[in-house]
């Protein structure tokens, strides 16, 4: 891969006739503050509307935000959104959630990329180590804080993240990047886009990444480095003025180093072996989408995709095939109603490699999901007051039928102020693991003769119910001055039937537990984000979020640990981003963020400040040279902890890097 990048750079240096292309090297003046509120988004209503007219807590991470932040992966880019808790466990694992309930296996956040869901039925969450594309190909990331289940379905409980890549039409010509550093040791990519006839465009790309291992709590090497190669294509075809077709696909293969604590029934003194494992991750997907436009306010879309993933570790392996078809139709009804409706079908089949540590019984299972939705956007007072009502109906193999309605109100008294409010119901359906798992871990138990190691078993439960949320939200957006904008959102969430881990017997030394629904609780808080233009060349983006969680166990459940999950999400988070366009084609960006302390069952992760800086020089529209640093305030620090007892804890190290980007 390095050879290909060097060869490409050499070719481009001697390339005299530059192809026309979209310049990705923007500066601050290319997007004035008023344009930030007028940015188009599609995730709130499954149609195009401006951010200022969206009745939801939504933030947009633009391609310029990603580039100037120095983010090297999608999880790092998500840190730019207010209210998102994106914590790194080690070199290859992340815990990402919105408005609480964070975990390595966080299960209340729906993530999509170009309409393809990244959710895994294995645990109702996302394997972040295999999600990615060339960051230069991302057009924007829309981040909704709060439920989006009426349109997007189960598991869109606390939020929706929609990653959208650029049309092939907007990525014509050559682009290459080469990055090297102390932590991200290699991140090289090449892309080429061209035309097929007069009305079709394509792009292809390849990328290779090699990240160094993190540190243990005493500063030693955690031996958790990882490498992954990725490639893909996209074709966009304007068949006619009314019909557009998109075909795209990606594939990846990599190796991840990790130390696992494996249960060994043949080793009675400790029942545990710590094994260094270099395991394989691989997968691919193909997606097709047809859009037919009837008029400016009416269209029809049909999308299908296939996704394959495999993950083979010493304690668990999974091969999964998923097929999904989704249909939606939007049309006006009279002068005041804008209706969007649709339906979908998904089937996912897995094959599990069981071990004494983790097993799923049965080791093969196919699950299906049928869904339909309808939403009506009603204009009550033209240009001032809008009411949106809708619901989603789903039928899944775990809990049967689920209904997820919502109502939203948007009031715009004038073009400088927008108020909105919503009430929503959302559910999180059980996963394959909660239904069928047999997980064995080893814990230390005190006895009169001293501590001993005891196997502790967690069993799935076929009677699991869906977790339920009733959410109340309000928000306010304003731009009182051309150099200042403010966005505030507040929420109160009521949860029921949350997952708990109940003992099989009331004995204090019980070593068998099962999944159940004995937990309930409430969360409340708010997020505020501002944009301040101190000068045409200097922009600040401060943000702050407050979260209060209260979890309760029902009497008689015997669960003594699940209430402590409220300590895994920070109560306070703050961030300030400074972006400067300096003389001599220099750009200087600083991101400082504060994360409150986390409390786990037996230890606390201290609050910390993160500091990232980036200095870039852009001598012309074709070249950009950048140097930067990440997590600069500490040699190493902890951000989160593993969910499994027998997994080593790791800490994130300071890193510096240099990057070259060239485009023709």
Contacts of 587 (CB under 8 A, 6+ apart): 27, 68, 579, 580, 581, 614, 615, 616, 617, 618
pLDDT tens digits, one per residue of 63-78: 999 999 999 999 999 9
Inter-residue long-range contacts of 274-278, CB under 8 Å, 24+ positions, other chains counted: 274/646, 274/648, 275/314, 276/223, 277/313, 277/314, 277/315
pLDDT at 509: 65
> 3-state SS string over 277-306?
EEEEEEEEEEEEEEEEEEECCEEEEEEEEE
Burial environment of residue 16 by CB neighbours within 10 A (0 to 12, 13 to 18, 19 or more) = exposed
How confident is the prediction for the chain on average, in pLDDT?
92
Tell me how far apart the alpha carbons of residues 149 and 373 are, in angstroms, rounded to a whole number.
Answer: 10
Evaluate if residue 17 carries a pLDDT over 80. Answer: no
Q: Using 50, 70 and 90 to split pLDDT, how confident is the model at 3? A: very low
Evaluate if residue 8 carries a pLDDT over 50. Answer: no
Average pLDDT over residues 437-442: 92
Nearest CA to 554 out of 544, 542, 562 is that of 562
- DSSP conformation class of 21: -
pLDDT tens digits, one per residue of 272-290: 888 888 899 999 999 999 9
pLDDT at 508: 62
**209 contacts 181 by C-beta, under 8 angstroms:** no
Compute the half-sphere exposure of residue 369: CA atoms within 13 Å on the CB side of its CA.
25
Structurally, the chain folds into a number of domains equal to: 1
Evaluate if residue 574 carries a pLDDT over 60. Answer: yes
**204 contacts 230 by C-beta, under 8 angstroms:** no
Average pLDDT over residues 228-246: 97
pLDDT tens digits, one per residue of 585-627: 999 999 999 999 999 988 899 999 999 999 999 999 999 999 9
Question: Can you read off the two tokens belonging to residue 554?
Answer: 């029902």
Tell me how far apart the alpha carbons of residues 252 and 130 are, in angstroms, rounded to a whole number.
Answer: 8
pLDDT at 10: 40
Q: Using 50, 70 and 90 to split pLDDT, how confident is the model at 28? A: low
pLDDT tens digits, one per residue of 381-436: 999 999 999 999 999 999 999 999 999 999 999 989 999 999 999 999 999 999 99
Q: What is the pTM of this model?
A: 0.93
Q: Tokens 């209260």 sit at which residue?
A: 550
Tell me how far apart the alpha carbons of residues 599 and 610 are, in angstroms, rounded to a whole number.
Answer: 19
pLDDT at 482: 87
Q: Using 50, 70 and 90 to split pLDDT, how confident is the model at 15? A: very low
pLDDT at 100: 96
pLDDT at 31: 65
Q: Using 50, 70 and 90 to split pLDDT, how confident is the model at 191? A: very high
Question: Can you read off the two tokens belonging to residue 164?
Answer: 């959208």
Average pLDDT over residues 132-139: 95
% of the chain surpassing 70 pLDDT: 94
**49 contacts 388 by C-beta, under 8 angstroms:** no
Evaluate if residue 84 carries a pLDDT over 60. Answer: yes
SS3 at position 66:
helix
Question: Can you read off the two tokens belonging to residue 362?
Answer: 């049965």
Tell me how far apart the alpha carbons of residues 501 and 433 are, in angstroms, rounded to a whole number.
Answer: 13
**335 contacts 283 by C-beta, under 8 angstroms:** no
pLDDT at 452: 79
CATH number of the domain that residue 460 is part of: 2.40.170.20
Q: Using 50, 70 and 90 to split pLDDT, how confident is the model at 171? A: very high
Evaluate if residue 520 carries a pLDDT over 90. Answer: yes
Tell me how far apart the alpha carbons of residues 259 and 649 are, in angstroms, rounded to a whole number.
Answer: 10
CA 139 to chain centroid: 15
Structural domain for 301, as ranges: 2-663
């Amino acid at each position: 891969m390095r050879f290909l990048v060097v060869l490409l750079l050499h070719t481009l240096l001697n390339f005299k006739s530059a192809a026309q292309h979209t310049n990705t090297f923007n500066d601050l003046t290319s997007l004035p503050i008023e344009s930030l509120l007028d940015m188009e988004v599609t995730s709130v209503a499954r149609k195009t509307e401006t951010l200022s007219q969206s009745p939801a807590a939504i933030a947009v991470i633009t391609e310029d935000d990603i580039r100037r932040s120095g983010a090297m992966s999608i999880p790092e880019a998500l840190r730019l959104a207010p209210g998102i808790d994106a914590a790194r466990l080690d070199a290859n694992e992340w815990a990402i959630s919105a408005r609480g309930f964070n975990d390595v296996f966080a299960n209340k956040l729906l993530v999509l990329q170009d309409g393809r869901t990244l959710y895994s039925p294995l645990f109702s969450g996302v394997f972040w180590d295999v999600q990615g594309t060339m960051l230069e190909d991302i057009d924007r990331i829309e981040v909704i804080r709060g439920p989006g289940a009426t349109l997007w379905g189960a598991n869109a409980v606390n939020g929706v993240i929609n990653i959208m890549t650029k049309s092939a039409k907007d990525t014509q010509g050559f682009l290459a990047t080469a990055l090297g550093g102390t932590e991200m040791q290699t991140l090289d990519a090449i892309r080429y886009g061209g035309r097929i006839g007069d009305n079709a465009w394509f792009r292809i790309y390849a990328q290779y990444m090699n990240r160094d291992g993190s540190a243990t709590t005493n500063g030693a090497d955690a031996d958790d480095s990882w490498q992954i190669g990725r490639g893909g294509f996209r074709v966009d075809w304007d068949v006619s003025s009314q019909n557009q077709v998109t075909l795209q696909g990606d594939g990846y293969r990599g190796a991840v180093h990790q130390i696992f604590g494996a249960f060994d029934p043949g080793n009675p003194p400790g029942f545990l072996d710590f094994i260094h494992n270099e395991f394989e991750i691989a997968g691919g997907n193909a997606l097709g989408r047809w859009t037919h436009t009837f008029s400016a306010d009416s269209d029809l879309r049909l999308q299908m995709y296939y996704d394959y993933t495999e993950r083979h570790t010493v304690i668990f392996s999974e091969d999964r095939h998923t097929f999904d078809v989704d249909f939606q139709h939007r049309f006006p009804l009279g002068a005041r109603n804008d209706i969007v409706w649709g339906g979908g079908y998904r089937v996912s089949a897995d094959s599990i490699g069981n071990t004494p540590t983790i097993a799923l019984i049965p080791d093969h299972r196919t699950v299906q999901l049928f869904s339909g939705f309808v939403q009506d956007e009603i204009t009550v007072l033209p240009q001032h007051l809008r009411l949106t009502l809708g619901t989603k109906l789903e039928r899944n193999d775990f809990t049967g039928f689920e209904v997820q309605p919502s109502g939203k109100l948007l009031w715009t008294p004038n073009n400088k102020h927008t108020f909105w409010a919503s009430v929503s119901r959302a559910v999180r359906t059980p996963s394959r693991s909660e239904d069928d798992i047999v997980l064995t871990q080893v814990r230390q138990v005190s006895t009169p003769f001293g501590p001993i190691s005891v196997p502790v078993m967690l069993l799935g439960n076929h009677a699991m119910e869906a977790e339920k949320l009733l959410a109340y939200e309000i928000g306010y957006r304003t731009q009182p001055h051309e150099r200042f904008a403010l966005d505030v959102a507040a929420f109160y969430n009521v949860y029921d039937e949350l997952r708990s881990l109940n003992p099989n017997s009331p004995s204090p030394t019980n070593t068998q537990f099962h999944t159940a629904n004995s937990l309930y609780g409430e969360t409340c808080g708010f997020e505020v984000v501002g944009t301040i233009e101190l000068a045409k060349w200097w922009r600040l983006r401060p943000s702050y979020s407050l979260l209060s969680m209260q979890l309760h166990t029902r009497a008689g459940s015997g669960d003594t640990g699940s209430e402590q999950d409220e300590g895994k999400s920070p109560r306070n988070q703050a961030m300030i981003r400074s972006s400067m366009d300096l003389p001599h084609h220099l750009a200087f960006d600083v991101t400082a963020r504060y994360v409150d302390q986390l409390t786990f069952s037996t230890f606390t992760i201290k609050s910390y400040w993160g500091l990232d800086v980036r200095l870039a020089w852009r001598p012309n529209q074709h070249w950009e040279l950048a140097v930067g640093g990440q997590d600069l305030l500490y040699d190493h620090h902890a951000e989160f902890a593993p969910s499994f007892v027998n997994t080593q804890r790791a800490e994130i190290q300071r890193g510096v890097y240099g990057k070259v980007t060239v485009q023709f």
